[in-house]
């Protein structure tokens, strides 16, 4: 009974991680559109260079996100096979892999949030200001 509960918790973790990474993917589309738009003040020093650096970081983050989603899929497939092997051997190995994946996802999310914060802080400071039409 305890084993089934642990497996259920791990399955829930995997579903939550997939959902959050999907949300990040959707958010990335918006941020990349922002970075590629013409809403920035063109006279900003080093604007093009800064935007290019952000674009490169987002491309790397997208690759990492894709790799994590693949790791989740592989891990999820392994969860289905956990019932077919000797309990202690498989469980301990699987729990260790699960914890490692959790650590990787946590690190990725923290890095992504930092990148997003940097983009928002920079973009907010160089957006074009339009006068209201009164």
pLDDT of residue 86: 59
Confidence (pTM):
0.84
What is the pLDDT tens value at each position of the chain, 134 positions in all?
Answer: 677 788 888 899 999 999 999 999 999 999 999 888 877 767 767 778 888 899 999 999 999 999 999 999 999 988 877 767 656 666 778 889 999 999 999 999 999 999 999 999 888 777 666 655 56
Contact 83, 6 (CB under 8 A): no
- Dist. CA 31–CA 12, nearest whole Å: 28
């Amino acid at each position: 009974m305890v084993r089934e509960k642990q497996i259920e918790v791990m399955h829930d973790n995997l579903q939550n991680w997939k959902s959050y990474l999907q949300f990040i993917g959707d958010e990335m589309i918006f941020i990349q559109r922002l970075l590629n738009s013409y809403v920035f003040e063109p006279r900003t020093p080093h604007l093009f260079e800064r935007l290019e650096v952000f674009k490169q970081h987002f491309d790397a983050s997208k690759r990492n996100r894709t790799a994590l989603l693949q790791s989740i899929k592989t891990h999820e497939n392994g969860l289905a096979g956990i019932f077919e092997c000797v309990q202690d051997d498989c469980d301990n190995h699987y729990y260790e892999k699960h914890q490692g994946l959790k650590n990787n996802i946590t690190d990725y999310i923290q890095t992504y949030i930092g990148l997003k914060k940097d983009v928002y802080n920079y973009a907010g400071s160089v957006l074009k200001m339009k006068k209201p039409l009164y």
